[in-house]
């Protein structure tokens, strides 16, 4: 490094607060700080400005109906269609503009103008109808990042059939569980996709999953790999291209949906082994996705906006598909990995497409840091105007690296905290208004009310850690867990609400800290949920996969700190015959987890132990196992029934 660079690094390191760049403020969608007061003064009516970003078939009666809290309803009796809002209404002015810029891993490119996307969505919607999909039928999609995925989602939205997208990296078992839980009789999947240049079969996994679904399923298969892979078709399955061709030029009127009608289901991990089917609605969710894309990501129709998440997660639903397309912008979709063929792949794309906003995850930023600044440095990234991060806490060093080496100190960085359940962003600075503090997401959005409280629900003071809570409903909130209102209340509303006084407080199960300016630093989950590379995994799900492996008697899974992934899976395992080293079993355990959930849940470390540290009442001391995984000092172990086991386990992890 030159002297100048050394000085620059030192200056950045010492700086804790960053002002929004003037050039950004001048052109921002939302730049007047009065927005916060306006929302307070007019709450909940202020949320109309989110709904007004959309076209409605009929106007709502009431912005918020809280008469049956916590089953809140938003924009009641309003009617609209999401596919119309993401496509039809843009045709006159933006029909020839790009809606989706898709880049395949091998370097293929496909541009879908709004007119083309509209056409294919109509054709596929007609095809789905012919296959028997009716309004309110749940259609499952098990697909990677190929354009047919958003086409299928929008086709479902057009005919009022909720979709349930299952991340392509999830296993066959995970697919089957979700299809069964949603009683889904339709599946759209594909033959495979490319990973690091090689074809990766996917259809076998889908087939395997379908074998475990106890009802008939109509399946549509997209042929992504052509001749590179001869995929196993089952009898009666439909080829996507043939279906679309058979409905060439078809037009399907968008079905008018009630604001509260379900737009989609998204399964996510919780404390128990059973994934939760989060229900999102047409009016509230879409308004919220559009409003946050407008206010936080500063999306404008002429932008080329890129969120590098996968559509299989909520981030991709809200900020690759629904938010950006509702606003009529160009959304970039990239099929592959960031380091293929080279570690500058993302920067090559930013340069080639003149990307204006980039929204990615801390785990990716930490990998870019490790690879080195020469990769972004070798590209012209000056088209970028705003940077965003999501999925897990970002450490200040990674934040500053992103700000400097990608944003050239000229782009605001929004650190957005939210969840599958919240539908869209909740805590973040507004990019033209709030000063940025690396490591701290920021204040709640205008109209959102959040606080940090102690176990008893009382607010903790500035600087103290506690539990994050949300005190008021918001339009993008989940409405319930599919077919399980009781679990919905138990999981999110039991802890801090006061039903007798009709006071409802949402508990996201995150720990947090508040500072004197009202900025919130999210510290991470306080339940048994791990965050591996920004992906949410339940420890119980992993444990039950491990216990299902022959030869395993008991297992405990915790998260250990990881430089790139944030957290990594540590599995402590007791074998049936008491053996403590068994390579073959270790491999079977890893395989078992991959089969039950997917490679993202693969244990970083499997530690065989004769016992697990337990309290006298027989509870596994997970905290202790976490400290051991992290090589940290252990606190008091005297309450353990079996304190001796601790040093034994410690020596094994240390020697790993």
What residue ranges bind ligand WT7 (CB under 6 A)? 268, 314-315, 390-393, 415-420, 441, 508, 510, 522, 524-525, 531, 536
* C-beta separation of 324 from 88 below 8 A: no
Q: Which residue's CB is nearer to ligand WT7, number 217 or number 557?
A: 557
Q: Which residue's CB is nearer to ligand WT7, number 288 or number 417?
A: 417
Please, is 511 exposed, middle or buried when counting C-beta atoms within 10 Å of its C-beta (0-12, 13-18, 19+)? middle
The first and second tokens of residue 360, run together, are: 């990615």
| Cβ 399 to ligand WT7 shortest distance, Å | 11
Write out the E strands in 116-272.
Answer: 139-142, 163-165, 186-190, 192-195, 198-201, 218-222, 238-239, 257-258, 262-268
Q: Which residue's CB is nearer to ligand WT7, number 200 or number 526?
A: 526
Q: Which residue's CB is nearer to ligand WT7, number 385 or number 536?
A: 536
Distance of alpha carbon 380 from alpha carbon 397, whole angstroms: 23
The first and second tokens of residue 322, run together, are: 């629904």
Q: Which residue's CB is nearer to ligand WT7, number 84 or number 536?
A: 536
| Distant-in-sequence, close-in-space partners of 630: CB < 8 Å, separation ≥ 6 | 560, 561
* C-beta separation of 610 from 578 below 8 A: yes
| Cβ 632 to ligand WT7 shortest distance, Å | 21
| Cβ 425 to ligand WT7 shortest distance, Å | 8
* C-beta separation of 564 from 367 below 8 A: yes
* C-beta separation of 504 from 69 below 8 A: yes
| Cβ 486 to ligand WT7 shortest distance, Å | 21
Q: Which residue's CB is nearer to ligand WT7, number 171 or number 420?
A: 420
Q: Which residue's CB is nearer to ligand WT7, number 237 or number 421?
A: 421
| Cβ 330 to ligand WT7 shortest distance, Å | 22
| Cβ 1 to ligand WT7 shortest distance, Å | 30
| Distant-in-sequence, close-in-space partners of 422: CB < 8 Å, separation ≥ 6 | 470, 474, 476, 477, 478, 508
| Cβ 417 to ligand WT7 shortest distance, Å | 4
| Cβ 207 to ligand WT7 shortest distance, Å | 27
| Cβ 205 to ligand WT7 shortest distance, Å | 21
DSSP characters for 286-308?
Answer: HHHHHHHHHHTS---TT-EEEE-
DSSP characters for 187-209?
Answer: EEEESEEEETTEEEE-HHHHHHH
Q: Which residue's CB is nearer to ligand WT7, number 306 or number 375?
A: 306
Q: Which residue's CB is nearer to ligand WT7, number 375 or number 496?
A: 496
Rg (CA), the chain: 24
Please, is 626 exposed, middle or buried when counting C-beta atoms within 10 Å of its C-beta (0-12, 13-18, 19+)? middle
Map residue 381 onto helix, strand or coil: coil
The total number of residues written for the chain in this structure: 656
């Amino acid at each position: 490094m030159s002297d100048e660079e050394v000085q620059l690094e030192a200056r950045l390191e010492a700086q804790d607060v960053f002002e929004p760049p003037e050039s950004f403020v001048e052109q921002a969608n939302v730049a007047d700080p009065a927005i916060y007061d306006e929302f307070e003064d007019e709450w909940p009516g202020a949320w109309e400005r989110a709904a007004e970003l959309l076209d409605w078939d009929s106007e709502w009666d009431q912005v918020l109906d809280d008469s049956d809290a916590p089953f809140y309803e938003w924009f009641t009796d309003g009617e609209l269609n999401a596919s119309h809002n993401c496509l039809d209404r843009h045709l006159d002015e933006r029909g020839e503009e790009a809606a989706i810029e898709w880049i395949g891993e091998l370097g293929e490119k496909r541009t879908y103008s709004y007119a083309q996307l509209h056409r294919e969505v109509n054709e596929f919607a007609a095809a789905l109808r012919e296959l028997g999909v009716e309004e309110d039928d749940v259609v499952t999609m098990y697909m990677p990042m190929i354009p047919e995925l958003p086409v299928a989602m929008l086709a479902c939205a057009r005919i009022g059939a909720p979709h349930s997208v299952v991340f392509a990296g999830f296993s066959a078992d995970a697919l089957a569980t979700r299809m069964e839980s949603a009683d889904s009789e339709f599946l759209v999947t594909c033959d495979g996709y490319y990973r690091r240049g090689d074809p990766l079969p996917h259809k076998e996994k889908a087939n395997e999953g379908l074998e475990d679904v106890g009802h008939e399923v109509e399946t549509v298969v997209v042929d992504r790999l052509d001749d590179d892979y001869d995929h196993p078709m089952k009898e009666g399955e439909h080829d996507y291209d043939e279906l679309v061709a058979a409905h060439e030029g078809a037009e399907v009127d968008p079905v008018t949906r009630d604001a509260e009608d379900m737009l989609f289901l998204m399964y996510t991990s919780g404390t128990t082994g059973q994934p939760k089917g989060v229900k999102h609605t047409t009016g509230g969710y879409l308004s919220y996705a559009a409003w946050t894309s407008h206010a936080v990501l500063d999306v404008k129709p002429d932008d080329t906006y890129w969120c590098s998440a996968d559509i299989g997660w909520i981030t991709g639903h809200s900020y690759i598909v629904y938010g950006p397309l509702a606003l009529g912008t160009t959304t970039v979709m990239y099929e592959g990995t960031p380091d293929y063929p080279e570690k500058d792949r993302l920067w090559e794309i930013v340069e080639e497409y003149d990307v204006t906003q980039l929204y990615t995850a801390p785990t990716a930023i930490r990998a870019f840091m490790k690879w080195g600044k020469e990769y972004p440095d070798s590209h012209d990234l000056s088209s970028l105007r705003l940077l965003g991060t999501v999925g897990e806490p970002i450490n200040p060093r990674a934040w500053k690296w992103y700000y400097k080496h990608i944003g050239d100190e000229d782009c605001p960085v929004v650190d957005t905290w939210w969840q599958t359940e919240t539908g869209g962003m909740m805590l973040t600075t507004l990019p033209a208004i709030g000063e940025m503090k690396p490591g701290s997401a920021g204040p709640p959005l205008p109209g959102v009310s959040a606080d940090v409280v102690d176990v008893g629900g009382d607010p903790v003071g500035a600087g103290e850690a506690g539990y994050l809570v949300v005190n008021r409903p918001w339009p993008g909130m989940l409405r319930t867990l599919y077919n399980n209102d009781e679990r919905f209340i138990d999981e999110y509303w039991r802890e801090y609400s006061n039903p007798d006084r009709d006071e409802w407080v949402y508990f996201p199960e995150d720990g947090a800290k508040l500072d004197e300016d009202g900025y919130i630093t999210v510290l991470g989950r306080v339940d048994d949920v791990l965050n591996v590379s920004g992906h949410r995994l339940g420890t119980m799900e992993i444990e039950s996969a491990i216990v299902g492996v022959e030869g395993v008697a008991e297992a405990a899974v915790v998260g250990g700190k990881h430089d790139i992934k944030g957290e990594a899976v540590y599995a402590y395992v007791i074998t049936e015959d008491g053996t403590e080293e068994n390579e073959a079993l270790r491999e079977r355990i890893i395989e078992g987890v991959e089969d039950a959930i997917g490679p993202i849940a693969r244990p970083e470390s499997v530690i065989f132990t004769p016992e697990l540290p337990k309290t006298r009442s027989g509870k596994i001391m997970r905290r202790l196992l976490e400290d051991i995984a992290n090589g940290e000092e252990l606190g008091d172990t005297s309450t353990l029934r079996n304190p001796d086991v601790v040093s034994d386990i410690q020596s094994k992890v240390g020697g790993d």
